[in-house]
Amino acid sequence: MSLDMNFINELRKILGVENVVIDEPMKNHTSFKVGGPADVLVYPTNYDMITQVIKLCKESNVNYFILGNGSNLLVKDGGIRGVVIKFAKLNKITIDGDKIIAESGAKLNDVSAAALKSSLTGFEFACGIPGSIGGATTMNAGAYDGEMSKVLHSALVIDNKGEIRSLSKEELELSYRMSAILKYGYIVLQVTLKLVPGDKDKIKARIDELTQKRTDKQPLEYASAGSTFKRPEGYFAGKLIQDAGLKGFNVGAAEVSEKHSGFLINKGGASAKDVLELISLVQTKVHEKFGVELHTEVRIIGEDN
């Protein structure tokens, strides 16, 4: 670990000893189940703690990284220098009429369940995405003809000056896998969704239908980060990879899924290096065969070993 104990002790004063973990393996916090240790992993339990930790990091010239559910993240084998701020304990969900107010760390499955319980429709598409509401807003996540941009009303964020402010849907600048959050480096604290009152049985039927589709078509039994590549304009990444003859191709324990070629999976014990080599190989082969550039949807961070 590269951080001194004075800095660690300041973190403990802000967060409490129980919410500061040293040298924590990131493979325990990503759906890909790979990644070396973070110098320090912290769990804020309120928004004030977050602003204080960021202020301390900036004053101490220490890098920090915001972590949601780790479902769209590939951490390299050397881990992460600095502080990882994990939002898992900020997961409160509140219903207000046709609106759902969810803290950034709330899981999409839990938000979907809350919508169903209150007979609110429009969020069914997210029921099986293994991410947090903050991460989904940042990436403008979508599936099965649904997208966060269709249901977002506003978001509470920390801006570049360390100030908390509310952004309207328009100010969020949502486009395909992009938002003002990513563009300007903001941090999502809370999200407000605007849904539509609906029939509970129909909502449940749609959730069941999408859950079955995912089970049938996606390799949910293996660790992965979902769709590894963004959809190239005019194509489907999975079909290009399959047509390049790469289905089932592997580097170590990292493999192009036999079930869905758009998913790169960890069959057990893969290193981040294995996954990165496989990503590079897939990109090269698809470009050689079809002249199409595949860009990763999964976010790649951290240090090489």
Q: Coil, strand, or helix at residue 181?
A: helix
The span from the CA of 34 to the CA of 224, in Å, is: 10
Kindly give, in sequence order, each residue whose CB lies less than 8 Å from that of residue 144, ignoring residues fewer than 6 positions away.
Answer: 125, 210, 213
Q: Please state the three-class secondary structure of 30-80 as a single string.
A: CCCCCCCEEEEEECCCCHHHHHHHHHHHHHCCCCEEEECCCCCEEECCCCE
Does 271 participate in catalysis according to the annotation? no
CA distance linking residue 70 with residue 216, whole number of Å? 24
> Within 10 Å of residue 57's Cβ, how many Cβ atoms?
18
**Cβ(214)–Cβ(249) under 8 Å?**
no
Among candidate residues 12, 81, 177, 231, the one labeled active-site is 177
**Active-site entry in 31, 227, 261, 271:** 227
- Known catalytic residue at 221: no
Contacts of 143 (CB under 8 A, 6+ apart): 125, 126, 128, 129, 210
Nearest to 114, CA basis, from 130, 129, 102: 102
Backbone phi and psi for residue 217, each to the nearest 5 degrees, phi listed first: -105, -20
**Annotation marks residue 297 as catalytic:** yes
Cβ 272 vs Cβ 75: under 8 Å: yes
Establish how many alpha carbons lie within 13 A of residue 304's alpha carbon, considering only the half-sphere containing its beta carbon. Answer: 5
How open is the CA angle 250-215-75, to the nearest 5 degrees?
45
Q: Which of 1, 18, 10 lies closest to 60, judged by CA?
A: 10
Which residues are designated catalytic? Answer: 177, 227, 297
